Chain A
Amino acid sequence: MKEHILKEKAFVYELPRTQPNMAGYEFNDENGYWINQKNKKPCIKDPSFAAPRTKKHDIETGEDKKGE
């Protein structure tokens, strides 16, 4: 029996998805953003930090974290 069109056309990938490596950074609750543990600068301003291009980091799964 044929599969449903959405199932047939789905892009399948292995779990787990990669999570960003946050070693060297810490989340500052008071400021509400990640900082570099050494220089205390915001992580997203750090050129060596790979800023995410989508919220899910590696796989585009819609824009409001429906994949949670």
Chain B
Amino acid sequence: MNNVEILIISDTMDFTTDYICIELKRRNVNYLRINRDKFNKYKIVFDINGLTLNIIINSRKYIIDENNLKAIYYRAPIYLHDTYKPNLPLEKQLYRSQWTAFLRNLTLFENIKWMNNPIDTFRAENKMLQLKYARDIGFICPNTYLVNSIEEIEINKNSNYIMKSLDTVLLRNGDKEAFVYSTVMTGDELMNSEYQLAPVVIQEYIYPKIDLRVTVVGDDIFAAKIEKNGLGIDGDWRKEKENVEFIEVELPEEIKRKCIQIVSELGLSFGGIDLILHNNEYYFVEVNPTGEWAWLVNNAGLEIDISICDYLQNSR
């Protein structure tokens, strides 16, 4: 029988979670990783009377209650985009909807640390809200509009802009899939585009620029610049991800403070913040409450895994 101190919600193919489990095992912590794709292989009883979650995995019983539980590391979507999966079998629909609801109900563990609580993630994952918070904190933000018509906003046809989706766009069409990156467009192109069907984000294009990924874990901060051949990248660096370098950098104290502050004010303990460095000024682009980080451990030597374990392990 095992009293779990740290519960990790993940799925089997999420290798980033492996980093955390390896470190927690090294520290001899009582942790449990449950994988969403294996829920039907586990035996689960959530007893509301004792606020106890019992899970049997391979005949081994794990007990999760607030007497012992310190933290939940939540590496799962906060909701599933079922509109994107039109032909799921009934069993799959049932599995997806009900187990996702099960995970949401873990929020009844209110007196523990979360990284991050999905309720906070749901709220924080709104680009316009993030920009409002960032501006209030004192970050410089690119001019940003959310529109389904550009007639009322001032667009210079010879200037460049960033066009991006408000939420991840992943479209399925037969045997093809489509994803929308942040895209550099001229004002002229924007003026000749169609918008009415759905809102999009139009943003001032800051260039030349250096992209920075700042990972905040509680009060710890890890920053890396993203370059190709020693230079910043025009447009969305993810299009170049095989050819870029991630190099650790030190941020000014004021920027560090603001990064920690925005994550905290959004109710989060973890955030992957995208900044742009332009003319010695730091611009806030967005914060990813569920941002990835393992690539920064591998490529920039940032000990984010260690910091996450420290955060999860620290007593209430």
List A residues at the B interface (Cβ < 8 Å): 1-15, 17, 19-20, 27, 29-34, 42-45, 51-55, 59-68
Contacts and interface: CB of A to CB of B under 8 A. Distances in A.
B104 interface: no
Contact of A14 (B12, B25, B176, B196): B176
25 contacts: A2-B193, A6-B198, A8-B194, A9-B180, A13-B177, A15-B177, A27-B35, A30-B60, A32-B8, A32-B17, A42-B22, A44-B15, A44-B18, A44-B22, A60-B238, A63-B288, A63-B292, A64-B77, A64-B78, A64-B125, A64-B288, A66-B77, A66-B167, A66-B170, A68-B77
A42 B11 CA distance: 17
B21 interface: yes
Closest 3 CB pairs of A and B: A32-B33, A64-B290, A62-B168
Q: How large is the interface on B (under 10, 10 to 19, 20 to 34, 35 or more residues)?
A: 35 or more
Nearest to B147: A5
B18 A61 contact: no
Nearest to A5: B193
Contacts of A62: 168, 170
A32 B21 contact: yes
A68 B76 CA distance: 10
A13 B170 contact: no
Interface of B: 8, 11-19, 21-22, 24-25, 31-33, 35, 38, 57-58, 60, 76-78, 80-81, 84, 121, 125, 163, 165, 167-172, 175-181, 183, 185, 190, 193-198, 200, 238, 241, 272, 288-292, 294-295, 298-299
Contacts, number: 149
Contacts of A20: 13
Q: What is the interface of chain A mostly: helix, strand, loop, or mixed?
A: loop
Most buried by B among A12, A29, A45: A29
Nearest to A35: B18
Nearest to A67: B170
Given A12-B176, A64-B288, 7 more contacts: A1-B194, A6-B169, A17-B177, A42-B18, A54-B292, A55-B14, A60-B241
A10 B180 CA distance: 5
A5 B195 contact: yes
A65 B22 CA distance: 22
A54 B35 CA distance: 18
A15 B292 CA distance: 23
